[in-house]
Structures are given as C-alpha cells and as structure tokens.
Structure 1
Amino acid sequence: MSAEQTVSGAAAKPVATGTPLLEVSGLTKHFPVMGGFPFKRQVGAVQAVDDVSFTVNAGESLGLVGESGCGKSTTGRLVTRLYEPTAGSIKYMGQDIAHASRKELAPIRSEIQMIFQDPYSSLNPRHTVGTIISGPMEINGINPPQGREARVKELLEIVGLNPEHYNRFPHEFSGGQRQRIGVARALALNPKLIVADEPVSALDVSIQAQVVNLLQELQKELGIAFVFIAHDLSIVRHFSQRVAVMYLGKVVEIADRDSLYEAPRHPYTHALLSAAPDADPDNLAGERIRLTGDVPSPLNPPSGCRFRTRCWKAQEKCATEEPPLVQLSGSADGHLTACHFPEFGDVQGNAKAPATEAATAPESEAKASVPEQRESAE
C-alpha cells in the first residue's frame, strides 16, 4: 500500500525531512518519596531523569539504550507528556510543551503517539479491535472521508492484519498481532512523531523482525520520526540513525549510529557493546568488559560522574566534577560524550590515537587498569 493511501484518513501538514521536530533540553523528572508519621512529607526524590538533552529531526529515528532503570521509558513518557516534567523544555516544532496545559496540548496530541512495550496490557480486553483503533479518532473528533470503520480496516491492512478482524477482541490474537494492533492505533491520527517504548521486547525473535521491518517501512513511506527505546543493541543499530546512551538518568553519549557502534567514547557504551552477542566469528576473540558492582540507587546517585563507581578508568576528578556532554576533538560531527577519561579504541579494543591529552588518562595507566574488568571471550 502506498504512502498516499496510508495518509488518506487525516490532513496533516508535512515537515521537511532533516528539520528539527523535537528539541529536548535539560529535561528532568524527580519522583518525590514521601515518609514520616503521622504527617507525610517529602523525604527524598528518585532522580529518574536528570538534565537530558537531545534533538530528533523530521523523519529520523533516535535510539535510546541503557540498562533497566536508566530512565529510557520515563524519558519517552515525558516527551509524550504522559508524565509532568520537573524541569526542562520539550519543544515540538518550536513550541515548548513541557508545561503546556491540557487545552494547549490538545491540537498536538494527535501528532505525537506512543507504542507501548506490553501488547497484552496496553489493549483494553473488553473492546473490539475496531473500537481500540478508532478510539483516537473519536476522542479527537476526526471523521475520515471514507468513515471510521473503513479507515480502521485500512490501518489493519497496512500493519499486515486481516481487515475482517475488525470485530474481534484482543485475546483472539497472538502477541505479535496485538503489537501490530498497537501500531495501527498509533497510526490512526497520522502522527509526525512516535515514541516506541521497547515495542518488540515481549515478542519472539521472528516476530520482532516482522514488527521492526513494519516500522521501518512506515517510517520510509510516511516520514514519521521515532524515539525508539530498546535493550537490544542489534535492533537499535538496524532501526536508528542516531543513538543516545543513558545511565542512571543521564545521557552519557550520543552520536550517529556508525560512529557510536564502531568507535564508542564512553566506557559505559564500550561495556554495553562488548557485552552484545556478535554473529561474526571473526569478532569472538575481542575483549569482554564485565562491569563490577550494582547500579547505584537513583535516590542517592554518586557525586560527579554517576558511572564512576563501576568504571575501570575512574579517578579523583570523576568524584568531584560532573563531566559535561561535549564533542571531543577528533570525534565525528555530533558525537557527544560525557567523560573525563574517554575511550579511544574501537569495539574490538584496537587502540586509536587520543583526541585530546587533557581528557585522556595516560596510555600505560589505562592499559594497566583495563584487565581488572575485562577478560578474553575465548
């Protein structure tokens, strides 16, 4: 089905590919922790997201990766305004929506949609597929020229389902089919931006490939921008043009896909990539980085660099100064890293010349500390 057929249900102004669609700056979300008796009061705060900044261009896909609890999903919910930000700005097409009222958000709700992680809990079991997918159109008062039922059947066909399933209930579908229903619901209003929160993590491997390929086709045909949240680094590399790495509520590295995967600068990114399985037997002899210790609590994160408690390159400076997210000399354009002592090797551990002497530990010191947490894959 062509893109022209796909977008027939709504009239949305196109956005030129490559122009800024979403600009997030200093985004912060702290969840209050209440305690005390008999009167409750705030005794702390979970720093789920802290000073996160990134940009998503029209038609682009930005991958968000990191360990569980790093703030990826919270960031996605903040962008869609399912959560109220504590601080920071979220500019959508130049308009700051971070603290916009419900009335102010109404005109752009249809342009920012979300695909949820769990296809079993994100669909109302008491509603038919037709009701679920047409719900956004009813809420926003949209009446397609061909009628809502025809539009829903068109969407079902777009996502690879039988239009005759219009009157079926979610329990009659498999996990992969349910996720396709979730995709159809997200497409119902022809959004310009979709936040996909681990859309394939609950699916079988073969179904994962089908859903990811479906999203890629829709992105190519419709020019939809994605914030793609996932654990699987191989899927992120396949789907995203740029990748942001998060650790304990902060973005520690952000770059275009090839630059980040081939030459990561932050030790945490290097550790994540070295731990990912590789189907190429030529890469099996590379080093594996095993991180020691547990992820610190977001209730009381470490001072300075939050990764320092698990980093093999940490020094006194890491505890006293928080590293800024900046581009290092010698790095590719737009490759930003937040580290006092960045890595300068590729994923296989082949050494490269340091970009700056000031930001790099002495070569002998770095080599001496690495074997404590690295081991051969043999």
Structure 2
Amino acid sequence: MSTTQPLPGQQSAPAGQPPAGENLLEVSGLRKHFPIRHGIVFQRQIGAVHAVDGVDFTVGAGRTLGLVGESGCGKSTTGRLVTRLLEPTAGTVVFDGEDITHTPVTRMKEARRNLQMIFQDPYSSLNPRHTVGTIVETPMRLNGINPPQGHKRRAQELLETVGLNPEHYNRYPNEFSGGQRQRIGIARALALKPKLIVADEPVSALDVSIQAQVVNLLQDLQREFGIAFVFIAHDLAVVRHFCERVAVMYLGKIVEIADRQTLYTRPRHPYTHALLSAVPEADPDGIRRRERIRLAGDVPSPVDPPSGCRFRTRCWKARERCVTEEPPLVRLGGSPDGHLTACHFPEEPTIEAREEDIVLDPAVTGREETAAGTA
C-alpha cells in the first residue's frame, strides 16, 4: 500500500484536521463483486461482475489523488465504496483513523459530515423539485447543524463561495447551466465542512471552458479550506493539472500509482504508456511529438477477467508468465519511493523531465501556468 508524503513547503492543515501528510484515508484490499442471478422465482447466482478487485491506496490530509482509466475500469465504483454508498464485498476503508467498512448505515452520519461526494452528472444529481437554497441547506438540517447566522444566510454564503449569486437561493436547478449546476453540487458538498471530497468526474459533462472554471474553483477551495480530494476522471490533462498523486486503474485493479511528475514523465506500466500517448499536447511545432500507441482488441469482460495480468490480452509485451502469474503492485528497481507498478515486464524509465517542463494546456486549465507554478 502506498504512502503519501508531504510536499516541501506545504502549509499545516486547518484546525480539526490531521497534520498535512498524515493519512486521512486508507483503502486496503477493496473489492466489489456484483452478483449475476438467473431465474424469476427461484434465483441462483451464476456469476459476478468483478467491478473492483483488490484496490489499495492512501490519501493524506489536504492532498489530492487522481483515479484514471478507461470507462468501466471501476473508478466510480471505488468512489462509491469509499463513501459507503455501496457496500464492499471485501477489504477495509479507514477514514480519519476509524474503520468505516462495516459501520451500520444508522451510524454513518458522523463520518459523512467529513466525507462528501460531488457527482458526475450535474443534471440528475440535483432534485428538480427543490430550490437551490433547499438543496444546499438539507445536509445541515439532516445533521442538526445550526449556523449562528441561520441556514439561509449560510447557504447564500456557500453559493457566493462557489461563484454564484446569493440571490439564486430561491431558484430551481432547471434555471441554471451545466456549469452552474455543478457549482451548486460543490456548494452542497461544502455545507458540512468536510475533510475529504470524492469528486466523480465532476467536469466530464461540461464544455472545456466550463471545465477550466470548475477545476480552478476546486483548487481554490482546497487551498482555502485544506480539503483532500479523490478526483475520478478519464481526462489525463485535467488530472495532471489538479492532482498531486495519480493512480491508474484497469479492469478493477490499480496497475500504477505515483506522484504526478513521475507518472507523466517516467511511466513504467505499458497501459499507462498507452494512455499518456493519447493525451493531446500543446506543441504546434511537433518538437515533442510522441508515438501513438493503439491498443489491440477490446477491454475484457469484468464477468470473466483474464488470468494472471488483466492487461495481457492487449499488451504488446505479454509473455507466458503474464498468463499464469498476477503481477503484484510493488516498487521496481530504478523507481523513486512511492512509485508502484504491477507489471512483470515494465517499461524502462526514461530520463526524468523537470517539473517545470510539464506544460499545462491553458485550453484545459483556463490559466497559463506550468506544473511548478503560475507564469
């Protein structure tokens, strides 16, 4: 299981949160198998969908972890398992020092004060019959929180925090654009002052310009309130801009995990190489043009995943060992601490690029900056 290390010069965590760098979330051996049943009256299980099949990672207080991979790899299911919106088949989820894996639903209220979620679809995640004020106030009322300034004033402050007009308090979700609805969802998640937010593809349904606004808003909120994020996405450019550590998932398993700079400049797993080769680069002159890796075949079914390495059916480096032996997620020789890869025949590390050489595309971020800081 990986360990999150503090960045140099990182500020201490806000009051009530663990010191920066200490693990706020620890996930170990997490599994979710959805049973496949046959029959109408007398049902019997004939198989299972291996949506998540043994996932390990940690998230430090005030830090960001990105979960990336193709559609159907188990990213969203992992997020729902972490927040206990789904019950795990096996494994443990330790949040803020407490094992919440099997905590009864009736006792999850306290944990959910500090563990919130931003949902993927801004159109279906808001109740169309409720006003914006009601949507933002409801978490506070359900948890018995009575702000000194009152629920209405607190909801208006939250709307203002996410860049909306406080006068929108009495409007309904259908009166807003997709980007504005996502901001309402963020305001709802902030209502209880959480320590960790699981953001499930919060910008995938938005236009590029709106994506930049939402991602930059999340970064500003993190800096202001010290919130940790599990950021689920399939857009590697957005993840590169927002996340400090990145975990790559394939068919229910994490195949590589490392800090942002290492993963984007020295990937070791063939699947990570293939994903990164598909990321558009802001390079008009083609100086840093990369070879496009096209994966053969389709993603195998999670009902009957391949034996051994799950990526072997599409991997150009697969050997007999990959068929019979599942590669463990370990640190390989020549890799820095915290860089873990699950591959029997990993890619050789290239010359490490400098952090300031990782240019972030302004079209995605909405800001002209490098990974080292704002230009």
Determine if the TM-score, normalized by the shorter chain, exceeds 0.5. Answer: yes
Q: Cα deviations across residues 205-232 of structure 1 (Å, max 9, x unaligned)? A: 1110000000000001111000000111
* Contact persistence 1:261–1:347 (CA under 8 A): no
Counterpart position of 1:48: 51
Please give the alpha-carbon distance, in whole angstroms, between the structure 2 residues aligned to 1:210 and 1:119. Answer: 15
- The 1:330–1:111 alpha-carbon spacing in structure 2 relative to 1, beyond 3 Å, is same
Q: What does 1:315-354 align with in structure 2 at a 5 Å threshold?
A: 315-346=319-350
1:313 to 312, 317, 327: 317
Q: Cα deviations across residues 124-183 of structure 1 (Å, max 9, x unaligned)? A: 000000000001001111100110000000000000000000000000001100000000
Bigger drift between 38-47 and 307-316 goes to: 38-47
Counterpart position of 2:289: 285
Counterpart position of 1:4: none
Please give the alpha-carbon distance, in whole angstroms, between the structure 2 residues aligned to 1:33 and 1:257. Answer: 38
Please give the alpha-carbon distance, in whole angstroms, between the structure 1 residues aligned to 2:136 and 2:34. Answer: 32
Give 5+ residue unaligned stretches, structure 1.
Answer: 1-10, 349-378
* Contact persistence 1:12–1:190 (CA under 8 A): no
* TM-score normalised by length of structure 1: 0.87
Q: Look up the SS of the partner of 1:289 in the other structure.
A: coil
Counterpart position of 1:272: 275
Read off the aligned partner of 1:219 and give its amino acid letter. Answer: Q
Please give the alpha-carbon distance, in whole angstroms, between the structure 2 residues aligned to 1:15 and 1:172. Answer: 40
Q: Look up the SS of the partner of 2:42 in the other structure.
A: coil
2:116 to 107, 113, 116: 113
Counterpart position of 1:152: 155
Read off the aligned partner of 2:49 and give its amino acid letter. Answer: V
Counterpart position of 1:61: 64
Q: Cα deviations across residues 17-60 of structure 1 (Å, max 9, x unaligned)? A: 11100000000000000013652111000000000000000000
Following superposition, the deviation at residue 344 of structure 1 comes to 1.1
Following superposition, the deviation at residue 95 of structure 1 comes to 0.9
Q: Cα deviations across residues 271-302 of structure 1 (Å, max 9, x unaligned)? A: 00001111124455321100010000000000
Are 2:49 and 1:31 aligned? no
Over the residues paired in the alignment, what is the CA RMSD in angstroms? 1.5
Give 5+ residue unaligned stretches, structure 2.
Answer: 1-13, 353-375
* Contact persistence 1:274–1:347 (CA under 8 A): no
Which protein has the larger Cα radius of gyration, Structure 1 or Structure 2? 1
* Contact persistence 2:17–2:61 (CA under 8 A): no
Following superposition, the deviation at residue 201 of structure 1 comes to 0.5
Q: What does 1:156-305 align with in structure 2 at a 5 Å threshold?
A: 156-281=159-284, 282-283=286-287, 285-305=289-309
Read off the aligned partner of 1:321 and give its amino acid letter. Answer: E
Please give the alpha-carbon distance, in whole angstroms, between the structure 1 residues aligned to 2:208 and 2:41. Answer: 51
User: How many matched pairs?
Assistant: 338
* Contact persistence 2:334–2:349 (CA under 8 A): no
Read off the aligned partner of 2:72 and give its amino acid letter. Answer: G
Q: Look up the SS of the partner of 1:110 in the other structure.
A: helix
* Contact persistence 1:128–1:167 (CA under 8 A): yes
Counterpart position of 2:366: none
* Contact persistence 1:270–1:347 (CA under 8 A): no
* Contact persistence 1:304–1:319 (CA under 8 A): yes
Q: Cα deviations across residues 298-326 of structure 1 (Å, max 9, x unaligned)? A: 00000000000000000000000000000
